[in-house]
Amino acid sequence: MKLCLCLLLEVQMHCSVVPVIHTLKYFHTASSQVPNFPEFVSVGYVDEVQIVRYDSNSRKAEPKQDWMNQITVEDPRYWETQTEIGVFNELVIKNGIEVLMKRYNQTGGVHIVQKMTGCEWNDETDEVKGWYQLGYDGEDLMSLDMKTWTWTASRQQAFPSKLKWDQDKLLLEYIKYYYTEECPYYLKKYVNYGKEVLMRTELPEVFLLQKTPSSPVSCMATGFYPDTADLFWRKDGERTFEDVEHEEIFPNHDGTFQLSVHLKVEVMADVEGMYECVFQLSGVKEDLVTKLERRSILSNASHGDNLSVALFSTAAVIAVAALLAAIFVVRCHRNRPARQDGAEISKSETQQPALGCFVHWNTERCLHR
């Protein structure tokens, strides 16, 4: 049990107990007539770190982290099994495009089906939550309510599937088992395999940026890990929300993250020292504090080269995020094919005969050993 004793003496201290929320996410994307892109791609993530990939070009499930190969000690056929699951999911989800095109009265063109499944685990309370979301051509299509274990159709075209799946009690029991038992079981296993990477902490570099003297001052923290972080402005020692704009956390190419917060203020002598940018990272007691001073700001006027490099880095990350968003068209909220849709439920403890059950658009299929 974690315990934090906060003492308020003459020095203000940042002290909080922040549990770590671990996530296991799978993204499956089937597309039609998209040039230079596989017709089917499936990727898995643990805590936003990619662990596995399968696509219709290679037709092979491959680990994306060295530590994922530890699982073959327990299951020598693990990656062969994941390849079989990937091939089967490819057929099922690609068929989903054909079914939906008929329901939408479409005869051709570019179409994308995306499915996001997974679970999260609170390492302090042991609470588990799951999610299952479907999207078609950039719109929410269908999702599973994990409280009532019923399906919600976001579009009329998904209603026939909702009715069928709601009536399939055996399927719902299986799905309930996967999201409450199987998914967190493997999530914990993967976290243990990759704990040296996933449980690390890296502090960022913090920059104050300003395009022109009349532009907002941007405080950017980049290179931190994990993504459970906060960045904000303080005025006279108190957190301020006035004239402040926050951005979402973006991933860097090296597996770390970056975050920016903007302050609309005219940097004059009378405000220097009044404002400070504060970065807080889960698991780190001390804050990183950067005082707002004109000499600390990278701007076009004073540090053009440095500012250009910093802004280019930010723009590059945003461009990559936009590209991914175009491919994975459904926005999935919190804010990664090892076990797809609960694809594999059998292990020695469960003694289940099925290697994996998959929800089809019109029926439910199981792949047996």
The pLDDT of residue 301: 58
What is residue 42's three-state secondary structure? strand
List the structure tokens of 347. Answer: 């292990």
Kindly report, residue by residue over 210-247, the tens digit of the pLDDT: 998 889 999 999 999 988 899 999 999 999 999 999 99
Q: What is the pLDDT along the chain (369 residues), one digit of tens a residue?
A: 343 333 333 333 344 345 678 999 999 999 998 888 999 999 999 998 999 999 999 999 999 999 999 999 999 999 999 999 999 999 999 999 999 999 999 998 999 999 999 999 998 899 999 999 999 999 999 999 999 999 999 999 999 999 999 999 999 999 999 999 999 999 999 999 999 999 899 999 999 999 988 899 999 999 999 888 999 999 999 999 999 999 999 999 888 999 999 999 888 766 777 999 999 998 898 999 999 998 889 986 554 444 444 444 444 444 444 444 444 433 443 344 444 443 333 333 333 333 333 343 433 333 332
Burial of 13 (0-12, 13-18, 19+ CB in 10 A): exposed
What is residue 359's three-state secondary structure? strand
- Kindly report the pTM of this predicted structure: 0.68
Q: Which residue spans within 257-332 are E strands per DSSP?
A: 257-263, 275-281, 288-291, 297-299
The pLDDT of residue 302: 52
In degrees, to the nearest 5, what angle opens at C-alpha 113 toward C-alphas 108 and 119? 175
**208 has which bridge partners?**
219, 297
Q: Which amino acid is at 54?
A: Y
Percent of the chain with pLDDT over 70: 75
Taken in order of first residue, the domains within the chain and their CATH numbers are 21-197+326-368 (3.30.500.10), 205-324 (2.60.40.10)
> Are the beta carbons of 255 and 245 closer than 8 angstroms?
no
Q: How far apart are CA 275 and CA 263, in angstroms?
A: 10
Kindly report, residue by residue over 161-193, the tens digit of the pLDDT: 999 999 999 999 999 999 999 999 999 999 999
Kindly report, residue by residue over 25-34, the tens digit of the pLDDT: 999 999 998 8
Kindly report, residue by residue over 252-278, the tens digit of the pLDDT: 988 899 999 999 988 876 677 799 999
